[in-house]
Amino acid sequence: MELKRVVVTGIGALTPVGNSLSETWNNLVNGVSGADMITLFDATKFKTRFACEVKNFDPTQWMDRKEARKIDRFTQFALVASDQAMADAGLNKENINPDRVGVVFASGIGGLITFQNEVTEFAKGDGTPRFNPFFIPKMILDIAAGQISMRHNLRGPNFAVVSACASSTNAIIEAYNLLRLGKADIILTGGSEAVISEAGVGGFNAMKAMSERNDDPKTASRPYDKDRDGFVMGEGSGVLVLETLESALARGAKIYCEIAGGGATADAHHITAPHPDGLGAKNVMFAALDDAGMKPEDIDYINTHGTSTPLGDGAEAKAITDVFGEHAYNINISATKSMTGHCLGAAGVIEAIACIMSVVHNVVPPTINHFTDDPTLDPKLNFTFNKAQQRTVRAALSNTFGFGGHNAAVIVKKYPA
Nearest to 349 by CA among 220, 224, 188, 221: 188
Catalytic site residue from 52, 165, 257, 343: 165
Catalytic site residue from 305, 355, 370, 406: 305
Nearest to 95 by CA among 136, 156, 154: 154
| C-beta separation of 75 from 81 below 8 A | no
Q: How far apart are CA 191 and CA 293, in angstroms?
A: 27
Burial letters 51-71, b for 16+ CB under 10 A, else e = bbbbeebebeebbeeeebeeb
165 part of the active site = yes
| C-beta separation of 317 from 335 below 8 A | no
Exposed, middle or buried: residue 268 (CB in 10 Å: 0-12, 13-18, 19+)? Answer: exposed
Catalytic site residue from 342, 343, 370, 406: 342
305 part of the active site = yes
- Please list the active-site residues: 165, 305, 342
